[in-house]
Structure 1
């Protein structure tokens, strides 16, 4: 679960990235996965750990999510709460630590160079979600429910179920599968969330 070789770090979050991008396409414009950030032109970053590479990328971007017309950037991290570096701190502190790591890497650059907003989407391998990720998906569910004219509770239930299965598949792949993960297409256009939740027996 903590192996950094063979592509496991990327494999563990690719499905969550694709699912998030698919949901954003339902309510936002100009959604892209792994967008390249604008190159630096002598700008000074606040933190020494900031990513200053010319080809730096984040996981997902969408225009008009938080603020009309502004581009929102999101980067996903899935960490193992049982890893050695997290054993001596609480789960809440581990979430905050991982969120701050992402903010130090990208927040200043995105705010001052790309003139966008940055949200770290932090999960645990067992399905937990960081505070900023909860806020993000809560907002996303509300906008999707409003656009589709469906109950927000059913959209939230469907979203939580899909995210949980994505994290579970990623964890099983890292533990038991091969390093090759075939690409999956996630099409939710025209999906009736209420009917799906009711037919699947998902608790609201």
Structure 2
């Protein structure tokens, strides 16, 4: 069992609330209201801006070139792939990249992204990557599960492009690299006593992910 699986086991209920949220279930079946998906995409674009800052912080905090290259790869995945996906998808509603960047941040977006940045600023590289893990690795898990269950109908699925992006091989490599890096960092800096602290960070990040899904279902809340 790698470090990520150990963290997930300690946060079983919080993890389930995140990866099995109503937003995810509706996304899988294609019944998610378009307005909810649009609200999610706009806020996730703003979310990614802050996560890019988190990966830039990880480059700064890297203790060696290997750490820095892992962080740089995560930063590139956000700036060069994920954000472009959001711009393409939002273009169907006439929203430009400038429109997305100018949108106000929802409280759920602020809560999660600033939590991650605070973990990185006040802690070390392991704290930061544990806080990032539910998002980075969880998206691959969610999209892969959806793609495997919806193969027969994915060709006309309304959210096919999002599903294919996060279930595809390029993003799977990003998620796999994140898992390996967690193991490498833990081998250098984790004790059993510290694991309990990291598990609490992971559980909170998972809860904040679930709150982010809920924000999209109730954007006016």
Q: What range is the shorter-chain TM-score in?
A: 0.3 to 0.5
TM-score w.r.t. structure 2 length?
0.33
Judging by fraction of residues, say which structure has more strand. 1
Task: Give the TM-score normalised by structure 1.
Answer: 0.35
Higher relative contact order (CA 8 A, sep 6+): 2
Structure having the higher helix fraction is 2
